Copies of this chain bind each other. A is one copy, B any other.
Amino acid sequence: MKPIGIIHTPFTSLEDMPIQPKGAGEELGTIEIEKQYTAGLADLDEFSHVYLLYQFHMAKRTALEVVPFMDTNKRGIYATRSPLRPNHIGLSIVRLTDIKENIITVRGIDVLDGTPIFDIKPYIAAFDSVAESSSGWMQASEKEVAAKRSDHRFVG
């Protein structure tokens, strides 16, 4: 498993970063894919949304219980999206706006500048749409998620 590229975003510090794409609103980021993989991006530009699988590269440790950004109680790490999971893989769904050769531009990006990326997958409604779901402890609205900002609790 090795990075296929790097994500560039306006967020150079964890302080005041959006915690999810829905908090990142109109923020643009670019994903610079290594040129050897450019051919793999063919046909991707016709999808509106993509999954990004990336490395939480600032998380150097693991914790099996954490207090998530949107909660005040400790939760099992696998019931959260915290970076401190045993494998430091992050998942975000972002809007695709443009692809030029090996550079992908996306909107609503919630990761730190310089984040290594492992994979990009098309969001396919026929595979991925979930009509009804329940979100356990996570009862915040999209508006509350959008307003929330990161801090340093999951670093180092």
A residues 118-156 touching B (CB-CB < 8 Å):
118-130, 132-138, 140-142, 144-145
A53 at the interface (CB under 8 A from B): yes
Chain B neighbourhood of A89, CB < 8 A: 1, 53, 89, 118-119
Chain B residues in 8 Å Cβ range of A51: 91
Find the residue from A44, A51, A127 having the highest chain B CB count within 10 A: A127
Is A85 positioned at the interface, with any CB of B under 8 Å from its CB? yes
Would B49 and A130 count as touching, CB distance under 8 A?
yes
Contact (Cβ within 8 A) B127 A21 = yes
List of B residues within 8 angstroms of A30 by Cβ: none
The residue that A122 contacts in the complex, of B80, B93, B128, with Cβ under 8 A, is B80
Q: Does A8 contact B (CB under 8 A)?
A: no
Q: For residue A143, which residue of chain B has the nearest CB?
A: B126
Closest to A132 in B: B48
Which of B44, B87, B119 touches A136 (beta carbons < 8 Å)?
B44
Decide if B76 touches A43 in the complex (CB within 8 Å).
Answer: yes
Contact in complex: B135, A40 (CB < 8 Å): no
**A46 near B: Cβ within 8 Å?**
yes
**Residue A77, interface by CB 8 Å:** yes
